[in-house]
Structure 1
Amino acid sequence: MLFPLTMTSVLISLCIIILGCLIVARYRDVYERIKIPLAIITFFSGLVLYIFGYMPDYVLLGELPEPGEAPPDATAIALRALFSTCRIFIMENDWGDVNAILQNHAIYTLLFSVVHACGLLITVLTLLSLFGLHFISRIQLMLSRPSETYIFCGLNEYAYHLIRSLRENGRDRRIIVIEGLKQSSEQEEVLVKKIRENQCILIDRNIGEVESLEKLKLPARCYQKPIHFFLLSEQENANLETAIRLLQNAKKDRTPVNHLILYILSSSENTGKILDQVRKDCGITVDFKIFSIEDLAARQLMETCPIYETLELDTREAMVHSDFTLFLAGFGRMGVEVLRKALYNGQFYGGHFKAIITDSAMGSREGVFNNRYSAIKSNYDIRFVQADPGSSAFYDLLIENIHAINYVVVCLENDRLSMETALEIQRLLRRQGVKRAVTIAVQISESAELSHYQELALLPGIRIFGRSSDIFTESIIINESMDRMARAMNALFNGIYHVEPADNWFELDEFTKESNRSAAMNIRTKLRLLGLDMAEAGKCDREPVRLEEYLQGTRLENLAKQEHLRWNAFHFASGWTTWDLSETAGAKKAKDLANKRHACLVPWEKLAEVTKRFNQVPSFEELDFMQVRNIPQILAASGYVVFRID
């Protein structure tokens, strides 16, 4: 045995086992880095100790052997010491065979005990690491005390990228992965490796069995802080079904869900409506965000390649003096989402939004788009053209509009074809002598396709968007700063109409939340129109300015008009249409929610008529002014400062 079986030895062994559990639970990444060096040091220390322990008395005492006594067999001693050293790691020892002189030597006894204790610790840690994942996960769950909890229902590529992003931005986070390990050994090994390297807590349960938070047996303290629950399966129906079960059972189990936020991957426009209804039926206040791959990719594009960078901004008047023209190659689901996002991010007072869209199957795709978003084509200069990428018609269209195009997006649903087309467009712009900066962005799904072009140094000037590793990130999906601004904006708007409570964010439907997020995202565009920018207060090394001093006179009026243009575009891009005043007889409000019609979806000049028809106080024009005047308060409440751009 490792130690003689006494109460002291039992207590020491228990302490070492508990210590091993704590190390694996809280410092697994540290142990993974030091386990090999520690094992090597322990092995060689043990080998040296046993070699000395098996020496004859006269060698240890520095004396000569007795006459006729055979000299020590070095090979035998070394082999015996090697065997005894290996026994250290199976929790055994050969203390009884050690020379009696050394058994009575205090320092040798201490070193012997330390080496064997290290051997026991290494064995315990290794066994726990290999076979005690579920046990360790439960210990981690009990011991961890971070400020927020992140739960992933399943571990796929999307979840893996988001977990890595969360870890990069903050180590002190409780990340839980719910995943059944009843897979092939190779799949399980890969899964466990990913869970370990990101210090995740595993709950071994099949995704279909996730019915409520109560059955996950989370510590009570988890419910006192935000819980972010991610449903990122590629089987979108399963995501919706799980979300519905969580909401319904939260009421039955009386689980406190005031801090629960659901993140749901779904491309269906009905998901938000379904969850809004379930939430109302259950009478609970749960926040949720719904997004698709296309939504995330288009959002990343607008954030990394903002449209205002392609225009010459008149910061004295807060306006532009030229139109914005988008050339979009590919009108599948990604192309539609890019157009929608570009439409309401590309609104500037003084210029018009234009778009040229090509697709090899435009006939059917244009019809579906115009049916779903019927007001877009009638309110904006959108040109749909059926043309194969690489065809003469495709390049003739480019050459015809070469000096008007500001922004090119290629998303042809084939990575290699998209990249080749983007490179050809870049060559055409250079050959035609276009001097001004034109953004060229190409949607890439697989990083493997991109590496080929990076090796050939063909990418300067071309922006990449849409890769899973780039869109499944904390800044794109969670984006708490954007939600803080959106909530502050909504509360200030409620204050105008004396809505109580003013901060009713969790009671809002998904469309209204997205409307507020869109307005919050556009704040930076408004600041750039003033020659300003924003940054978090603790991370800004520039001299702050008072934004109120810039929001006056012509600038304020033009920004109010720009806000109305953006508001119109967001509604049109969400399927809303203009409610003609001649059809509003008997209506008390300007909004017809059931039919997605709004009387204010008109040019700025016609808002006065709508105000008069509905006796609106304050006027609809004044509401746009107030939205702009509220920006300083919104930024301050969200922890941002404003500074001048050199």
Structure 2
Amino acid sequence: MSWTRTKYIHIIIASVLTIGVGGMWYFQRLTDPFYWLMLTIVAWATLIFYFFQSKYLLQSIFFTVAFTSGVYGFSTQAYSNYSLINSVYSTFRLFLLDVDNVFTKTGSNFFKLPLSIEIARWSAAFYTVSTFSLLFFRYFGQTLKANWVRFRGNHILIFGYSNHAAILIENLAKDGYRVAIVEEKLSDEERMDIYESGAAYFTGNSLKTSVYKKSALTRAKHILLMDQEDSKNLDNYLSISNYLNEQNIDNIVQLFIHIKNKKSEQILENIVKDSKKGQTLEKMRTRVFNSYQLHAEKLLEKNPLHTGYEESLRKFDGNSLHLLFIGFGKMNQHLAHQALHRTHYISNQKIKVTVFDRNIKKVQKDWNYLAPFASKVANCTFKSLDLDYEKVNDQLGLIEKPTHVFISLYDDYLDMIEGLQLIQSLKDVPIFIKMQDNRILSDWLQENESEYLKVKRYNFLREVLTFESVVEGEVQRMAEIAHENYRELKENLGKGEERAWVNLDEFKRESNRYQMLHGEIKLMLMGLTTTDQSGERSLSLQEFNDHVKPLVETMAKVEKERWNAFYYLKGWSTLPLEQVTPDYKDDSDKKVHGCLVSWDELDEVSKKAQVNFKEYDIDTIYNLYHYFTAQGLKIIKGEKE
């Protein structure tokens, strides 16, 4: 039961007690009015513990009630005069589950206690039992949890304990999942944090089979590699894959590996390729994830970049978007990377990206690793700016007015100051500000939303690192639906067979994910949107096709540009036309593809390969109907509200 619910129950009890005591006092039926008044005051006063206590809240309340009632009862209800010191002493004996009989002459064990002592002794008993239970579980709870995980299995096993892992663990435990952590060394504070989150932990070398056995790795439902260092995650990946293939298990283990750097991702791709050649991955299905990428996807899904610029983006000669990034660490780099995947419109102008950062050479190098050939997708400009000495407003006159501003610096307060200063110069421009996972500044923004309507905060990590985003993969699941719909449709039309989703490699799955993420944008460009409202009338398949038909080639060109951008940002380049044959259209080892050309040039590639590649892009547009309706959504005319 949450403390919030407990507090409401507490308030109800205090209110009932107040009304009851007031009523009895009014009708002069209280036998001990001073005691009931004191108890009512205690009931309201103990609400203060909710602001200062969380771990020992109930113990604090029971102790206060037991002590005040006990001292009062022994002082006023004893058979003969009983001193204050003796009353306090007898009250403390209540916590030892014993009652001093000072209420009868004989001192017999069989006697009736005053109400104040009854309340005191039962409160003391609850305090004592609950405190001993806490102590027991503090010293033996981890052992019990670890054994329970081994016995039940079907748990989520996380390798590596970091800030991101701690947030995910807390969210998983809240949702009722069994969670266990494997870490070589944990401080006492970290052990307590893990225990209080509801998870179990196993310490030891994560590359040793002994740790795999005691953490019941083969019986885990999901395995997450979340060490802060990519190299450690890659080592764990190789060790676990070798261990699993030595085990006699029937189930396929789902493994998720957190990779921060592009170079590490390339190393993993090579490992997977070599493993597939040796068929050493047959018992493990792997998916790469990145908390910064998840954050960027969620932010841009909630705040589409095209909002407010729809009319311009639907015109061939319309203006493109201009994104200004103030600070270009990992968070903003991934936001820019996601934007380059999504910002493909009818407008023939490339998206513009301007970066202000004090370490411009370093961030430019990092960006080139993350987004190779980004210049083929966007016009990127990097400017050195040190906000300790310079002002952003002074630089705005030197660049084209941005359509969006993203601020992610090394200091939250500096983020806020720069954001509020920019409001004066860019009143109609959305400004996104990064904040740490606390609620002080964000609550202030919420309270002043009417004044700062265009100012928005980045998502908190606790809103991003959830089971749905990391393990279940909301985007991944929707991409799978889209792929299976397309596969079924293609087979029904006799256009050949497509591989099932489970048989696709990670690269193809990611390609489908980005195609799916662009689906709503394509609808917007055609003057359509989706809704889940039951009262809305959905377009039929025929009505959708009739609406799309005059726009289909224009939209197919947009899809072609999006597809090109995906490959360019993955580091691929164009396979020369003279090398294209029906049997050689692309080469994943060399990262070259014959179709990485413009829409107009695609006809020549199709002739050489003897495949109508334009048909793929056209099919994508028509298949939007099946993709969205499969999710229970309706396609209607109009703008997203």
TM-score calculated relative to the size of structure 2: 0.72
Letter of the structure 2 residue corresponding to residue 545 of structure 1: S
- Asked if structure 2 preserves the Cα contact closer than 8 Å seen for 1:372 and 1:575, the reply is no
Aligned residue number for residue 564 of structure 1: 560
1:432-482 Cα deviation digits (max 9, x unpaired): xxxxx4333344568699679969979653333375445434555346331
Overall identity of the aligned pairs, in %: 18
CA distance in 2 between partners of 1:126 and 1:174 (Å)? 21
The answer to whether 1:159 aligns with 2:165 is yes
The answer to whether 1:283 aligns with 2:285 is no
Aligned residue number for residue 248 of structure 2: 254
Mapping for residues 16-165 of structure 1, pairs under 5 Å: 34-38=58-62, 78=87, 81-82=90-91, 84-88=93-97, 121-138=129-146, 141=149, 149-165=155-171
- Asked if structure 2 preserves the Cα contact closer than 8 Å seen for 1:177 and 1:202, the reply is yes
CA distance in 1 between partners of 2:68 and 2:436 (Å)? 50
CA distance in 2 between partners of 1:600 and 1:420 (Å)? 47
User: How big is the shift at 1:416?
Assistant: 5.7
1:538-583 Cα deviation digits (max 9, x unpaired): xx56536246333431244433332222111111111111223133
CA distance in 1 between partners of 2:500 and 2:337 (Å)? 28
CA 557–469 in structure 1, closer or farther in 2 if over 3 Å, else same? same
The answer to whether 1:631 aligns with 2:624 is yes
Residue among 283, 295, 298 paired with 2:296: 298
CA distance in 2 between partners of 1:349 and 1:173 (Å)? 45
User: How big is the shift at 1:273?
Assistant: 0.8
Letter of the structure 2 residue corresponding to residue 290 of structure 1: V
User: How big is the shift at 1:166?
Assistant: 4.0
Letter of the structure 2 residue corresponding to residue 543 of structure 1: E
CA distance in 2 between partners of 1:262 and 1:212 (Å)? 21
- Asked if structure 2 preserves the Cα contact closer than 8 Å seen for 1:408 and 1:439, the reply is yes
User: How big is the shift at 1:134?
Assistant: 1.5
Aligned residue number for residue 348 of structure 1: 345
Mapping for residues 323-472 of structure 1, pairs under 5 Å: 323-330=320-327, 333-359=330-356, 375-377=373-375, 379-380=376-377, 382-388=379-385, 398-399=396-397, 401-403=399-401, 405-411=402-408, 419-430=416-427, 437-444=428-435, 461-465=454-458, 468-469=461-462, 471-472=464-465
Residue among 177, 180, 185 paired with 1:176: 180
Letter of the structure 1 residue corresponding to residue 164 of structure 2: Y
1:370-397 Cα deviation digits (max 9, x unpaired): 68866442x3451435443579998687
Letter of the structure 1 residue corresponding to residue 604 of structure 2: E
- Asked if structure 2 preserves the Cα contact closer than 8 Å seen for 1:343 and 1:353, the reply is no
CA distance in 2 between partners of 1:449 and 1:93 (Å)? 49
User: How big is the shift at 1:424?
Assistant: 4.6
Letter of the structure 1 residue corresponding to residue 600 of structure 2: E
Aligned residue number for residue 65 of structure 1: none
Aligned residue number for residue 234 of structure 2: 240
User: How big is the shift at 1:328?
Assistant: 3.8
Question: What are structure 1's unaligned runs of at least 5 residues?
Answer: 1-28, 60-70, 431-436
- Asked if structure 1 preserves the Cα contact closer than 8 Å seen for 2:327 and 2:409, the reply is yes
Q: Which moved more, 1:365-374 or 1:548-557?
A: 365-374
CA distance in 1 between partners of 2:625 and 2:633 (Å)? 9
CA distance in 1 between partners of 2:68 and 2:618 (Å)? 77
SS across alignment from 2:500: coil
CA 32–176 in structure 1, closer or farther in 2 if over 3 Å, else same? farther
Q: Which moved more, 1:238-247 or 1:473-482?
A: 473-482
Letter of the structure 1 residue corresponding to residue 138 of structure 2: L
- Asked if structure 2 preserves the Cα contact closer than 8 Å seen for 1:150 and 1:228, the reply is yes
SS across alignment from 2:379: strand
CA distance in 1 between partners of 2:296 and 2:156 (Å)? 25
- Asked if structure 2 preserves the Cα contact closer than 8 Å seen for 1:486 and 1:516, the reply is yes
| Larger RCO (CA under 8 A, 6+ residues apart) | 1
Letter of the structure 2 residue corresponding to residue 439 of structure 1: P
SS across alignment from 1:122: helix
CA distance in 2 between partners of 1:180 and 1:364 (Å)? 32
- Asked if structure 1 preserves the Cα contact closer than 8 Å seen for 2:322 and 2:354, the reply is no
CA distance in 1 between partners of 2:141 and 2:601 (Å)? 66
User: How big is the shift at 1:345?
Assistant: 0.6
SS across alignment from 2:301: helix
Aligned residue number for residue 520 of structure 2: 524
User: How big is the shift at 1:402?
Assistant: 3.7
User: How big is the shift at 1:593?
Assistant: 1.3
CA distance in 2 between partners of 1:456 and 1:30 (Å)? 27
User: How big is the shift at 1:151?
Assistant: 3.0
User: How big is the shift at 1:85?
Assistant: 2.0
CA distance in 1 between partners of 2:134 and 2:367 (Å)? 58
TM-score calculated relative to the size of structure 1: 0.71
CA distance in 1 between partners of 2:413 and 2:251 (Å)? 45
CA distance in 2 between partners of 1:245 and 1:487 (Å)? 29
The answer to whether 1:600 aligns with 2:600 is no
- Asked if structure 1 preserves the Cα contact closer than 8 Å seen for 2:372 and 2:569, the reply is no
Residue among 286, 310, 313 paired with 1:312: 310
- Asked if structure 1 preserves the Cα contact closer than 8 Å seen for 2:63 and 2:124, the reply is no
Aligned residue number for residue 68 of structure 1: none
1:414-438 Cα deviation digits (max 9, x unpaired): 65665555445443335xxxxxx43
Q: Which moved more, 1:441-450 or 1:252-261?
A: 441-450
- Asked if structure 1 preserves the Cα contact closer than 8 Å seen for 2:317 and 2:349, the reply is no
1:182-216 Cα deviation digits (max 9, x unpaired): 53xxxx246414541x3x22123146366588524
The answer to whether 1:612 aligns with 2:607 is yes
User: How big is the shift at 1:234?
Assistant: 1.7
CA distance in 2 between partners of 1:515 and 1:440 (Å)? 30
CA 205–515 in structure 1, closer or farther in 2 if over 3 Å, else same? same
CA 376–135 in structure 1, closer or farther in 2 if over 3 Å, else same? closer
CA 587–328 in structure 1, closer or farther in 2 if over 3 Å, else same? farther
CA 311–620 in structure 1, closer or farther in 2 if over 3 Å, else same? same
User: How big is the shift at 1:274?
Assistant: 4.4
SS across alignment from 2:564: helix
1:573-604 Cα deviation digits (max 9, x unpaired): 111112231333x5624222122111212222
CA 456–270 in structure 1, closer or farther in 2 if over 3 Å, else same? same
Aligned residue number for residue 482 of structure 2: 489
CA distance in 2 between partners of 1:279 and 1:99 (Å)? 87
The answer to whether 1:270 aligns with 2:266 is yes
Letter of the structure 2 residue corresponding to residue 623 of structure 1: Y
Letter of the structure 2 residue corresponding to residue 346 of structure 1: T
- Asked if structure 1 preserves the Cα contact closer than 8 Å seen for 2:75 and 2:82, the reply is no
CA distance in 1 between partners of 2:437 and 2:82 (Å)? 64
Question: What are structure 2's unaligned runs of at least 5 residues?
Answer: 1-52
- Asked if structure 2 preserves the Cα contact closer than 8 Å seen for 1:47 and 1:85, the reply is no
The answer to whether 1:228 aligns with 2:222 is yes
User: How big is the shift at 1:40?
Assistant: 5.7
SS across alignment from 1:408: strand
CA distance in 1 between partners of 2:214 and 2:624 (Å)? 42
- Asked if structure 2 preserves the Cα contact closer than 8 Å seen for 1:373 and 1:576, the reply is no
CA 413–236 in structure 1, closer or farther in 2 if over 3 Å, else same? same
CA 45–330 in structure 1, closer or farther in 2 if over 3 Å, else same? closer
Aligned residue number for residue 9 of structure 2: none
CA 139–32 in structure 1, closer or farther in 2 if over 3 Å, else same? farther
User: How big is the shift at 1:125?
Assistant: 1.2
CA distance in 1 between partners of 2:312 and 2:113 (Å)? 81
